[in-house]
Each structure stands twice: as C-alpha cells, then as structure tokens.
Amino acid sequence: MVLALLGFVFLRGPTPDIKIKPETIASIKFIGTINITNTLITSWLVVGIVIVAVFLVTRRWELVPRGVQNVVEAILEAFYNLVVSVAGEKNGRRFFPVVATIFFFILAANWLSLLPIFNAIGFSKEEEHGFVMEQTNVGFDVTWVSLSSLSNLSGETIEKDDPQAKEEVEKARSEGKFVGELLPLFRGPNTDLNTPLALAIASAIAVETWGITSLGFFTYGRKFFNFGGAFRGLFRRNPRMVFEGAIDAFVGFLELVSETVRLISFTFRLFGNMFAGEVVILMFTFLTPLIVTILFYGLELFVGIIQAFIFAMLTLVFGVMAVSHALEGGPEGEHREGAAETVAREAH
C-alpha cells in the first residue's frame, strides 16, 4: 500500500503518447533522404553492446573455463546442442551461426528496451500542447519526461482541446519549462515494424540459401515451380498424367505462397508482442507505477526471451525443412524431419 501510494504521488508520468511509427531524429541527404529513427539508433546501440560484450568476455579466453567464460560457454553449448538435435551434426554446424545471431540480437534488443531511459529521454519539438517537461541544454536540447508531484498528481500534460491550453502554455514557458512533443532518443527496435521485417527477410534468405546449396538450384526450384508432370502428360496425351501434374503445380504454388506468408507471420508475431508490451508498460507506469508495472517488467523479461527463441527456432525448423529432401530415404532424415515438425508445433 505504501509503495502504491508513493508511486501514485511521485512516480507517475504524463499521459503516454502512443505511436506505431518510430520518431525521426535526423535526416541525411544521400541518394534521396534517409531518415535516422530512434529505433535505428537503438539497433546500432544493441549491435555495439553485443560486440563490446563479446570482446570483453573473450579477450582472456582460457582452455579451462571459469567465471563468466564458464557461463557463456554453457549457454552457447546448450543452444548448439539444441540446434544439432533438430538439424543433425552437419546441418547444425551450418545453421548455428545464423540461428544464434538472430536469437541473441532479438533477446538483447528486447531486454535493453526495458531500461527506464527508453521513451523518456529525447529531443524536444515545441508545440502549443503536449508534455510539460523540464529541460537542460548540453549543446543541444535534451528533454526528459517529468514525473508527478504533490501539486500535480497526473503528470503535466496540456491537451490540444483544453480551453485553457493557451494560458497554461504561457504559464509553463514563463516558468522555464518546455511544452510540446518528446522525440525519444531510444525506443525498442522490435516495436518498429521495419526491424522484425528485416529479420524475417534475413531469415528467409538464409533458409532459401541452405535449400539451394543442399539440393541445387533447379532441384530446389521444382519445389515451387513443378510443371514437368503436366507437360509430360500433354506430350504423351495422357489425361491422368496431366491431372496429376496440375496437382503438383498447384501444390508448388501453395509452397510459394507459404514462403511469402511466412515473412508476414514472422514480422507481425515479433512486432505485435513487443509493441503491445511497450504500450502496457507505458500505460501502467502512468496508472500504477511501482506495483503493477514491476510485475509487467517481469512478464516482459519472459516474453522477450520467448519471442527471441520462437523466431530463432522457426528459422531453424524451416531451414531443416528446406534441406529435408536431401535427407530423405534414411532413418536420420526421418528423425530430423520429425524433430523439426515437433519444434514447429511447439513454437506455434
């Protein structure tokens, strides 16, 4: 009760301004206009943090692991064994770098986005309504979302349709405060539809590459464009062969459609979960900070790792399915395909 009261009085932010589209921080003129968004900045930050972390962990790599090295090796070995158990030793070694990179990038992006500086610190865009915030100047305007106080239990926000808006804006500015829109410097990469789509495209390219290199370009292509049976039936004037060939061609078309739909599924599964989590945390930070918000932070930690795992495992499963024709005809092929189907069902 005490925590709820303290959070309600002192830690509530203003009414959240929920936007699906990421905010543009800067624009670069280079063969057109390239917008630098806050989600793009955070993606670069995630990559930089992962690179630095790997460098710090591996700079004193020892033959007998201990401490942090022991933990890192245990995690990587467990993940590698999981990949091998699904794809087999040969394909597991091929698939592991891509699958592991996808998993750890998404996990780092999801967990880093839970830091309290996200959606709270950024650049100011002056308006005649919006947030009322304190402001500091360190060479350029940097603004943070001000929290509630005893004199303002709801956080400071001036609504556009408020009849007293003009007077309130003038009063706030006379007190040296900023009124307008906050352009957050940091926002979760996966709350921007472009990031999950880019990851889905990278996953699809990897899967198709594995299939082509394993089966050959034309053999793999017949999975989608299988008109040979129909043409042979027409040449031999055999209606039955024409009918069976038409079915094969239709099945190939369905396979092609499923490959395209997979991109949409991958993209919106990750985007929907992470964007919804961000909205929930913002809303409960405004409504009931400390108590309920902390519970949702715990939930988002779990959702973050689950979504990373699902994305990586589905990439692995579809990779196994892409090369499955090369494994057919033996017990190992049946085992790998069965394992892939099991993982796919559990992931969905």
Same domain, 178 and 213: no
pLDDT, mean of residues 295-323: 92
Task: Render the burial of 225-245: b for 16+ CB within 10 Å, e for the rest.
Answer: ebeebbeebeeeeeeebbeeb
Please give the structure tokens belonging to residue 170.
Answer: 């003038």
Same domain, 292 and 201: yes
Does 347 or 25 have the greater pLDDT score?
Answer: 25
Range among 5-9, 76-80, 175-179 with highest mean pLDDT value: 76-80
221 in any annotated domain: yes
Q: How confident is the model at residue 134 (pLDDT cuts 50, 70, 90)?
A: low
Rounded-to-integer distance, Cα 197 and Cα 270, Å: 9
Least confident of 143-147, 176-180, 205-209, 340-344: 340-344
Q: How confident is the model at residue 16 (pLDDT cuts 50, 70, 90)?
A: low
Evaluate if residue 14 carries a pLDDT over 50. Answer: yes
Nearest to 321 by CA among 244, 163, 172, 215: 215
SS3 percent helix, strand, coil of the chain, rounded to 5, is 65, 10, 25
Task: Render the burial of 106-127: b for 16+ CB within 10 Å, e for the rest.
Answer: bbbbbbbbbeeebbbebbbeee
Same domain, 202 and 329: yes
pLDDT of residue 222: 83
Residue 169 makes CB contacts below 8 A (sequence gap 6+) with 128, 129, 158, 179
CA 149 to chain centre: 35
Same domain, 141 and 289: no
Cα–Cα–Cα angle for 72, 74, 78, nearest 5°? 120
Asked which of 184, 206, 225 is the last residue of a domain, the reply is 184
Which tens digits make up the pLDDT trace of 267-299? 999 999 999 988 888 877 777 766 677 788 888
Tokens 């790998």 sit on residue? 336
pLDDT of residue 2: 62
340 in any annotated domain: yes
Total domains, the chain: 2
Evaluate if residue 139 carries a pLDDT over 60. Answer: no
Which tens digits make up the pLDDT trace of 155-184? 566 666 677 777 777 777 777 676 777 778
Does 7 or 281 have the greater pLDDT score?
Answer: 281
Asked which of 135, 165, 184 is the last residue of a domain, the reply is 184
Rounded-to-integer distance, Cα 186 and Cα 146, Å: 17
Q: Are 132 and 146 in contact (CB under 8 A)?
A: yes
**pTM for this entry:** 0.81
pLDDT of residue 159: 65
Evaluate if residue 337 carries a pLDDT over 80. Answer: no
Evaluate if residue 83 carries a pLDDT over 80. Answer: yes
328 in any annotated domain: yes
Nearest to 223 by CA among 211, 207, 240: 211
139: alpha, beta or left? (left if phi > 0; alpha if psi -120 to 50): left
Q: How confident is the model at residue 332 (pLDDT cuts 50, 70, 90)?
A: very low
Q: How confident is the model at residue 58 (pLDDT cuts 50, 70, 90)?
A: confident
pLDDT of residue 306: 95
Beta-ladder partners of 137: 141
Give the count of alpha carbons within 13 A of 343, CB side only.
25
Same domain, 158 and 204: no
Structural domain span for residue 317: 190-347
pLDDT of residue 245: 81
Same domain, 233 and 200: yes
